[in-house]
């Protein structure tokens, strides 16, 4: 589909700022010990460990990208975003309700905290590319191809270890007010909708893949994804690896440790990443991925019908519990709280989305 429905988020002509990358995710965890052990096995590098907080980083930066904080429940605490312009930082700092922290939130960098329409704290930091990024070390081995032998007389070595994570790549958020939240990220941070997914019957938009606008500089197909949901919550986060070998090695290591697989290995349709999902001790999905699409600012927004098959090109059949469609008491209470607070929540859209999510695209598979 080429025409964008009127209710869809669009790129802003005059955004308040132009953000450059996702910085970090902050998570509350009841059991910090098990979470610490898991994310080391997942491939993150711990850089700070206190009784009430543990910080991790990837290999492309010395800055933290993952914060586990002691809490009485497992939940999303906040999101961090980078801007490369000091002028943009000052504009956001001057917004009504913005909170300025000179000492930073989880590092020494000053930050401005904004609140998105769902109530999620979003920390914004000004940092230059020179400070943020370390040179990426390429660990990949040589591959042989038909007619081209790059690895002659050299058997491929095997090393059992966690995946080597390069960086935090993206986060997917469920929002009770889809359009309001998606538009806020476009208007506040200049994000561009790369692709939008709409329901087959009502044609209502329910998912948008947002990328950062860096002009001619290539940006990930999506760094933030906003999806319609019964609750306001974090659906999953994804971490970039170098290649398919790293994805497979990470999977082998986690399964060998007895951790629970989520879904994989496969290749997504929108964004094109090779993916492998796992569940951390709290049950939250986390993803290893590689070979994702990169867009500059000229690529127009795509519009697509949503169904389970639209989530992947190839791979293992999606497990029934991958998309959490069960109406638990907690979810219903959160939905009721949203309705009472006068949020614009469409029950019919949520029910159609639930119906679509439960339809298997591979009815011919027999197990």
258 part of a folded domain: yes
Question: How far is the C-alpha of 125 from the C-alpha of 135, rounded, in Å?
Answer: 21
Note whether residue 153 is domain-resident. Answer: no
CA angle 220-356-119, nearest 5°? 55
Q: What is the model's pLDDT at position 255?
A: 97
Q: What is the dihedral of CA 318, 323, 329, 330, to 10 degrees?
A: 130
Structural domain boundaries enclosing 280: 19-129+162-318+329-358
Give the chain's domain count. Answer: 1
- The closest alpha carbon to 107, from 76, 62, 43, 73, belongs to 62
In a domain, 90, yes or no: yes
- Supply 236's token pair: 């999953």
pLDDT tens, position by position, 16-57: 999 999 999 999 999 999 999 999 999 999 999 999 999 999
Determine, yes or no, domain membership for 350.
yes
Asked if residue 151 is part of any domain, the answer here is no
Dist. CA 65–CA 82, nearest whole Å: 11
Q: Which helix (H) or strand (E) holds 182?
A: helix 178-189
In a domain, 333, yes or no: yes
Mean pLDDT, range 315-331, rounded to an integer: 80
Task: Name the pLDDT band for 3 (thresholds 50, 70, 90).
Answer: low
- Cα gap 42→253, rounded to integer Å: 8
Confidence (pTM): 0.93
Residue 104: inside a domain: yes
pLDDT tens digit string along 262-285?
Answer: 999 999 999 999 999 999 999 999
Domain with residue 291: its CATH number is 3.10.180.10
Q: Is residue 12 part of a domain?
A: no
- Mean pLDDT score across all residues of the chain: 91
Mean of the pLDDT values across residues 170-191?
97
Query: Would you say 74 and 28 are in contact if contact means Cβ atoms under 8 Å apart?
Result: yes
Q: Can you give the pLDDT at residue 367? A: 39
């Amino acid at each position: 589909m080429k025409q964008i429905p009127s209710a869809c988020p669009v790129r802003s002509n005059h955004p308040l700022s132009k953000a450059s990358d996702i910085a970090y995710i902050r998570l509350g965890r009841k059991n910090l010990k098990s979470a610490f052990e898991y994310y080391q096995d997942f491939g993150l590098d711990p850089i700070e460990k206190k009784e009430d907080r543990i910080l991790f980083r990837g290999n492309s930066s010395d800055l933290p990208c993952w914060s586990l904080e002691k809490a009485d429940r497992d939940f999303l605490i906040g999101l961090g975003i980078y801007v490369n312009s000091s002028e943009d930082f000052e504009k956001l700092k001057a917004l009504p309700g913005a909170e300025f922290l000179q000492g930073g939130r989880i590092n020494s960098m000053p930050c401005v905290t904004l609140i998105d329409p769902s109530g999620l704290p979003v920390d914004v930091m000004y940092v230059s590319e020179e400070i943020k990024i370390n040179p990426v070390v390429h660990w990949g081995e040589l591959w042989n191809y038909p007619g081209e032998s790059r690895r002659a007389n050299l058997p491929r070595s095997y090393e059992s270890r966690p995946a080597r994570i390069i960086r935090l790549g993206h986060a997917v958020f469920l929002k009770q007010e889809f359009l309001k939240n998606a538009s806020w990220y476009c208007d506040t941070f200049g994000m561009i909708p790369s692709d939008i997914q709409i329901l087959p019957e009502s044609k209502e938009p329910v998912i948008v893949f947002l990328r950062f606008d860096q002009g001619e500089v290539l940006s990930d197909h999506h760094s933030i994804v906003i999806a319609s949901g019964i609750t306001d919550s974090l659906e999953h986060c994804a971490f970039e690896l170098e290649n398919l070998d790293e994805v497979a090695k990470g999977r082998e290591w986690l399964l060998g440790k007895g951790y629970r697989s989520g879904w994989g290995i496969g290749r997504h349709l929108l964004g094109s990443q090779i993916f492998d999902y796992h569940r951390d001790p709290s049950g939250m999905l986390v993803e290893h991925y590689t070979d994702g699409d990169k867009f500059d600012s000229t690529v127009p927004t795509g519009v697509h019908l949503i169904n389970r098959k639209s989530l992947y090109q190839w791979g293992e059949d999606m497990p029934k519990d991958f998309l959490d469609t069960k109406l638990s008491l907690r979810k219903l209470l959160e939905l009721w709280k949203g309705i009472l607070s006068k949020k614009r929540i469409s029950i019919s859209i949520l029910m159609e989305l639930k119906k679509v999510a439960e339809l298997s695209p591979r009815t011919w598979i027999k197990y």
